[in-house]
Amino acid sequence: MSIWKLVKLKFGRNVAHFGELGIGMEETSERVLSDTLFSAWISSYSKLFGKDAATNFLEKFNSQPKPPFRLSSTFIYQGIGENTTYYLPRPLKFPPNYPVGNDLDFIKAYKPLKYLPLDIWQRWYQGSGFSDSEELKAKIKSEANKVLTQKGTFDFEYGTAFKINKVPKIAVDRVTRATNIYQTGFVQYQWEANQKESEEVESLSGLYFIVHFGEPDLENIFFAVLYFLGSEGLGGERSSGAGQFKVEQTELTNTWKQVLNFKDANHHCLISLFWQHPLPEEFLNNPSYELQQRGGWLGSPVSDGRQLRRKSVQMFTEGSVFSIVPQGQLADVTPDKPGKFLDHKVYRSGISLSLPIKVQEE
């Protein structure tokens, strides 16, 4: 039995710091990628059930034909009145009926769009496809120019769902006691005070992700661990209280059910990172993709106090399009010289989740 769940992470007043490889403490991403979410969940599972239980659980992902669950990356949701807008990554192929080469100005407005609202995403990539009517052209051009996000991409009202601020901090050298001022970037999502309860707030925007359970019996454990992760915090600067969230399981709307169960597809679009080795030749059949290097330090020092860097791997990013369903696997990123105090393997999740789509045939 196939079980899909849509999960909202509601940060309320809390800020978060989501650092990625290649950006310093001053910068933060507005969302968390699937491998980071997976690692945070496994870390919380280990705290609750012990290291041996976590090691045994990870082995299921390596040994079973179907993994216990698949996670998407997190994406922005935004409440507007009584409606909620969910954003999905724009597939890296043109939708059916797209007027390639017929309108240079319009293509310039379309290509920078990194995320699309769910209803437009579905209409373009699972419905009637793209319309080259003057009305739709005008809409995309005007909406694309409303918001210029910090990363330089135009994304409808996407950039109004959150704001990123830099907070000054002071580092003190443990030996010389010299001080150094630096800045840390924090993301904060829209919220407002609940008028009924002065201490409560309503999250007007935040993050959401999709989870697909290969083992239906795992659902209760999955959410128990996720609630614990919410109290611990997601991302960096957790010692300052950053990254704490509340979990909301949301019923799938009819639109989401149609998106997940779409049958008339000719390609598949990633909504997570994807890594597989060796990569089957079928993936080279007319793909459209981007790669991202994933690396970084271990979450905590080993017992002798040293900080170890994980091996880096190249992964396919969200929005990449393939003609067959990508499955993915765990990547062994254990440091080359882990030392005697690191007595377990370190993995990064390349297990993928994708959505069926129709794209313009080339």
The reply to whether 246 falls in a domain is yes
| pTM assigned to the model | 0.87
The reply to whether 362 falls in a domain is no
pLDDT number for residue 185: 84
Q: Is the pLDDT of residue 141 over 60?
A: no
Is residue 353 within 8 Å of 70, Cβ to Cβ?
A: yes
Q: Kindly report, residue by residue over 239-251, the tens digit of the pLDDT.
A: 878 899 999 998 8
The reply to whether 30 falls in a domain is yes
C-alpha 10/C-alpha 247 separation (Å) is: 6
Sorted by sequence, the CB contacts under 8 Å of residue 129 that are 6+ apart come out as: 95, 96, 97, 98, 123, 358, 360
Task: For the chain, give the percent of residues with pLDDT over 90.
Answer: 48
Is residue 350 within 8 Å of 328, Cβ to Cβ?
A: yes
pLDDT number for residue 311: 84
Cα angle value 35/332/354 (rounded, 5°): 40
Domain total of the chain: 1
C-alpha 322/C-alpha 356 separation (Å) is: 10
Q: Kindly report, residue by residue over 340-350, the tens digit of the pLDDT.
A: 546 678 889 99
What residue numbers bound the domain in which 184 lies?
Answer: 3-357
Q: Kindly report, residue by residue over 150-206, the tens digit of the pLDDT.
A: 334 434 478 788 998 887 666 666 677 776 776 788 899 999 877 665 567 788 899
Helices vs. strands in the chain: H and E counts, helices first: 7, 18
pLDDT confidence band for 289 (50 / 70 / 90): very high
The reply to whether 303 falls in a domain is yes
Q: Is the pLDDT of residue 23 over 60?
A: no
pLDDT number for residue 241: 82
Q: Is the pLDDT of residue 231 over 70?
A: yes
C-alpha 276/C-alpha 291 separation (Å) is: 13
Q: How far is CA 245 from CA 11, 194, 224, in A?
A: 4, 17, 14
- 314 φ/ψ sector (left φ>0, alpha ψ -120 to 50, else beta): beta
C-alpha 87/C-alpha 157 separation (Å) is: 10
Residue owning tokens 């080469």: 101
The reply to whether 230 falls in a domain is yes
